[in-house]
Amino acid sequence: MKIQQVEAIEVAAPSDELSSPWSSTVILVRVTTSSGAVGWGEAPTTLMTHPVRASVPEVGRFYEGRELHDHARALREFERYSFYRSRSMEATSALSAVDIACHDLLGHELGVPVSALLGGAIRERARAYSNGWYADCIEASEFAEKASAMVRSGFGALKFDPFGSEYRTLSDDGLDRAVARVRAVREAVGPGIDLLIEFHGRFYPEAAVRAGRALDEFGPRFMEEPVLPELCDALAEFRRKVRTPVALGERLLTAADFESFLARGLVDILQPDITNSGGFTYGREIAGVATARGAPVAYHNAFGPVQTAASLQIDAVLPTFFLQESFEASWPEWKRSLVTGYSIERGEFPIPTGPGLGIHVDEAAVERFRSDAMDTVGPEPPWVIAGTWVRRASTAPGAKRERTRRR
């Protein structure tokens, strides 16, 4: 059975549906074999939609025409040819999506879940934390109200960014507002709920340390990407001065990156993203690094349902699994319609045991939402949960949002 076609498909929110920028586009990769079998992968977006989509054919030509069971040789050949691969998220994202799709195909051919190809599952469920739940929250009371609703729905862990529009530096007023938001959430949900503080890699070291020390009192389980990624060496100072563990990894691309951060004492909890760090093939290497160092792993998972399904398969085999990120409770309806086969129940994912990724991709929905649109920009960056920097004019269901979908 040969790999016949590697195809990148962009899908996007319909023009009449209000959607946060982080959930407005998804890149799916469909790999088709000579027998007509189809496997699915996914790549990240976040102002990279078109560059990543354009990188898929670059990767695909190393796979097309090869036997499916020879897919690892294609990956290693691309690795040899791609001079900037270790620092190009576009290259590694495209490679990740194709690798995920090949594993999906192999699982279907053999009638086993991908976890079996990775050595076998050691857990049946993955504890999740909710993200994206605080859209349109600016006042502390709004954060508290929505956090309480998430806890009532069954989540025992919540991640959120309390810093509003503060960027690089942190004003005294901005710090006071962040503290008020975190305090309100902690008081609303009580001491038994894990709070995870998202910094989004936005601060200079001094501002990050001030924020970290001010928020320590609320007992977060981790603080994510507290400093600008280009200043990552400052994380050593942050870890000395702030009690809360540091989590990061969504911008790291190779197992060597993760080993370097652990060896230099820059991180406590690893957050690889299976859609940009080499799919399952490199994922096994990253898992080996984490296991050797005893580092907890909480896979980053901020894009679409194929990414979630792939993340769950590797969660199943991780000896140091910690938590699984989930945006599902806050997704727009169009994104929910793309895939069936997994669910989240009272804050946990039952890990699918069907063949491959254990999911069904609705190709009719994929075609319905197919798009050539670029990521939206303004008035907030695409990595922001909508309505947390600037109050949106309308957040009512069905509110229209200016967006042009092109075929």
Active-site annotation, residues: 200, 300
The stretches of 198-338 forming alpha helices (DSSP H) are 205-215, 235-241, 255-263, 279-293, 305-315, 333-336
Pick from 33, 42, 34: nearest CA to 9: 42
Residues with Cβ within 8 Å of residue 229, at least 6 apart in sequence: 201, 251
Distance CA 401, CA 404 (A): 10
CA distances from 6 to 57, 65, 282, 333, 338 (A): 7, 10, 20, 27, 19
Residue type, 81: Y
Instruction: Give the three-class secondary structure for 310.
Output: helix
Distance CA 194, CA 258 (A): 25
Helix and strand numbers (H, E) in the chain are: 13, 13
